[in-house]
Amino acid sequence: MTGTTASRVQTLGGPALFVLLWSTGFVGAKYGLPYAPPFTFLALRLAVAAALLALLAAALGSARMAARGQYGRASVVGLLLHAGYLGGVFYGISLGVPAGVSAVIVSLQPVLTAVLATRMLGERPTARQWLGLVLGLAGVALVVGPGIVESGSAEPLPLAGLLACLVALVSGTLGTVHQKRHGDGIPLVWGTAVQYAAAAALLALVAVTTEDVSIHWTGEFVAAFVWLVLCLSIGAVLLLLLLLRRGSAAGVSSLYYLVPPATAVEAYFLFGEKVGGSSLVGIGVTALGVALVVVPPRRR
């Protein structure tokens, strides 16, 4: 394997692992949400993740926050990227918004991030990258569209659930841009622990005031909870923040396009959900679009 080939494999390995881990969030939610209200579930998940990361940082002797302002910036990212994004998606699904509809709404994030990054970060996506963003969005629509049509009913979608998904879209976009703009100087492990603590505090407040906070500790819930904490809240999110340090906000956000196709494949193997011909075409189109955004063109 040549040096260039090895470098490309390493460059693609991190994004591929992130997509694989992040896409399993749907599976964890499907197993866990029947046994706990959405905000209660998320508050407990993020609180445990914050405690584990704090213990890990202390054990490793990781660098602490150098200034008070870093606590504030990390907290803002936590409220946007975790409380707003995850809370909006979980709440929208709990109100009856189909997972496919929420996936389409949230999949607008790469385009919105690219627009904001152009203005706020000075990033200038090339024509090739803009084409990739459009192809990625079209591919997601091909993947989830047939499922939305087949599962559709005469009843209209809940307005509050759609608004919750839009809140998730805006929060995730702003959190990504804010992290890219202010997060490079913040210690990764301690900063993520602070993000989770801030998000958990807000979600706990919302849960106490709006939900019955009781949890049914079944085997399925425990398995889903452990997976979401260790693999999603710690593994995937640390990898996401690391990717943001190394790449552009628009490029990293384009990886979200691959999450619905990856989830569709996982649902086929785990739950027997069918993947139609248009979905297979959509997976290919989505992969091509993301490749145009994140893989640098060969130079002569």
- The answer to whether residue 130 is domain-embedded is yes
- The answer to whether residue 27 is domain-embedded is no
Determine phi and psi for 231, rounding to 5 degrees. -85, -35
Q: Say what the pTM is.
A: 0.75
Determine phi and psi for 238, rounding to 5 degrees. -60, -40
- Structural domain of 90: 32-294
pLDDT band at 300 (very low <50, low <70, confident <90, very high): very low
pLDDT digits (tens, 9 = 90+) for 261-299: 777 677 667 766 565 667 667 767 776 776 676 555 555
- The answer to whether residue 20 is domain-embedded is no
pLDDT over threshold 50, residue 24 = yes
pLDDT digits (tens, 9 = 90+) for 95-125: 877 666 676 677 777 777 776 776 666 666 6
Please tell me the total count of domains within the chain.
1
**CB-based contacts of 210: which residues, under 8 Å, 6+ apart?**
39
pLDDT band at 133 (very low <50, low <70, confident <90, very high): confident
pLDDT over threshold 60, residue 71 = yes
Q: How far apart are CA 203 and CA 18, in angstroms?
A: 25
- The answer to whether residue 16 is domain-embedded is no
What's the pLDDT score for residue 15? 81
- The answer to whether residue 277 is domain-embedded is yes
What's the pLDDT score for residue 38? 92
Question: To the nearest whole number, what is the mean pLDDT of the chain?
Answer: 78
Lookup: tokens for 184: 């490079």
Single out the residue of 175, 259, 245, 205 nearest to residue 46, CA to CA: 205
> What's the Rg (C-alpha) of the chain?
19
What's the pLDDT score for residue 243? 84
